[in-house]
């Protein structure tokens, strides 16, 4: 059952369930599209997440009561369209040495090799369920159960930009330097967030990310290209 929840005086959260699943996220994205097509005056932003949609609105332009009515109309008109070909973005990742400080711990935890961790992590595209926490930070899923991991008990104070982490059923991309408690198994040389670009983040919720393993040498070569071309 859909829940309409108040979030302060400028936002409404529309919740569709309590689990993380691609099927539920497809409903969230379909509802987002229905809202955008309805062109509701007063809505300023719409943010999708795993299982819900947050609608930001201007209470001067539209009242809470009127907005709820229009959102429920958009929900009734929501059509789950036929699946579109996924937009798959390849992200090169180095899983070696200093770029992957936790990969051996992950391997030992599951009694497998680091190469097996890499093989499992690069085995399929991952849906971007949402962006949040900080600019460009992508929440992806779902990992093979073989490499599900708990967070660090004490988070790192600094995680380098481009780091790829895992926790639970999720894998995530750190776009900028920040604290973080995920198990870090690799790093990409790509600039995941660049405010100087027209589109600071080159991916969005609903896209898929496919990780591709590269060597340290390839990492440094790509890093040079990113430094001078972006």
Please tell me the distance from the alpha carbon of residue 16 to that of residue 194, in angstroms, as a whole number: 33
Are 57 and 111 contained in the same domain?
no
Strands 126-131 and 3-7, bridge-based pairing: unpaired
Task: Please enumerate in sequence order all residues whose Cβ is within 8 A of that of 23, keeping only pairs 6 or more positions apart, or say none.
Answer: none
Are 69 and 104 contained in the same domain?
no
| Confidence band, pLDDT 50/70/90 cuts, at residue 3 | very high
Name the residue range of residue 126's domain: 88-229
* In contact, 151 and 167? CB cutoff 8 Å: yes
Among residues of the chain, what percentage have pLDDT more than 70?
A: 96
Are 130 and 225 contained in the same domain?
yes
Residue 125 sits in a domain whose CATH number is: 2.40.100.10
| Average pLDDT estimate for 91-112 | 97
Q: Can you give the pLDDT at residue 82?
A: 52
State the chain's mean pLDDT as an integer: 92
| Average pLDDT estimate for 41-62 | 93
Q: How many domains does the chain have?
A: 2
Look up residue 108 and give its two tokens.
């030992």
In a domain, 93, yes or no: yes
Rg (CA), the chain: 19
Q: Can you give the pLDDT at residue 29?
A: 86
| Average pLDDT estimate for 51-75 | 94
Among residues of the chain, what percentage have pLDDT more than 90?
A: 76
Are 115 and 215 contained in the same domain?
yes
Please tell me the distance from the alpha carbon of residue 89 to that of residue 202, in angstroms, as a whole number: 9
Is the preceding peptide bond at 142 cis, omega within 30 degrees of 0?
yes
Look up residue 77 and give its two tokens.
């008109």
**β-sheet bridge partners, residue 187:** 94, 163
Query: CA quadruple 167, 156, 192, 198: dihedral positive or negative?
Result: positive
- Cα dihedral 135→105→119→163 (10° resolution): 20
Q: Can you give the pLDDT at residue 132?
A: 86
**Which residues in 69-182 belong to E strands, given as ranges?**
88-94, 126-131, 138-141, 156-159, 163-167, 170-173, 178-180
In a domain, 206, yes or no: yes
* In contact, 153 and 183? CB cutoff 8 Å: no
Q: Evaluate if residue 35 carries a pLDDT over 60.
A: yes
State pLDDT tens for residues 139-198. Answer: 998 999 999 999 999 999 999 999 999 999 999 999 999 999 999 999 999 999 999 999
Are 26 and 121 contained in the same domain?
no
| Average pLDDT estimate for 90-119 | 98
* In contact, 148 and 107? CB cutoff 8 Å: no
- Among 48, 76, 104, give the residue marking a domain's end: 76
| Average pLDDT estimate for 51-59 | 94
- The whole-model pTM stands at 0.81
Please tell me the distance from the alpha carbon of residue 129 to that of residue 53, in angstroms, as a whole number: 11
- Among 27, 53, 76, give the residue marking a domain's end: 76
Are 179 and 136 contained in the same domain?
yes
């Amino acid at each position: 059952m859909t829940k309409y929840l108040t979030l302060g005086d400028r936002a409404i959260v529309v919740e569709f369930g309590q689990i993380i699943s691609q099927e539920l996220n497809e409903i969230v994205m379909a509802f987002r599209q229905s809202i955008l097509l309805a062109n509701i005056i007063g809505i300023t932003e719409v943010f999708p997440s795993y299982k819900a949609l947050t609608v930001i609105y201007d209470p001067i332009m539209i009242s809470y009561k009127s907005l709820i009515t229009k959102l429920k109309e958009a929900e009734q008109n929501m059509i789950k369209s036929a699946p579109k070909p996924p937009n798959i973005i390849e992200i090169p990742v180095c899983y070696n040495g200093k770029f992957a400080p936790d990969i051996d711990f992950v391997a030992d935890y599951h009694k497998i090799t680091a190469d097996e961790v890499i093989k499992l992590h690069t085995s399929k595209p991952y849906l971007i369920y949402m962006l949040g926490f900080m600019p460009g930070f992508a929440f992806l899923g779902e990992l093979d159960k073989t490499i599900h991991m708990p967070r660090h008990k004490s988070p790192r104070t600094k995680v380098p930009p481009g780091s790829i982490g895992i926790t639970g059923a999720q894998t995530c991309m750190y776009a900028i330097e920040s604290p973080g408690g995920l198990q870090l198994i690799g790093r990409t040389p790509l600039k995941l967030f660049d405010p100087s670009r027209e589109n600071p983040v080159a991916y969005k919720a609903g896209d898929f990310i496919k990780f591709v393993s590269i060597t340290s040498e390839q990492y440094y070569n790509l890093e040079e290209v990113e430094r001078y071309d972006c």
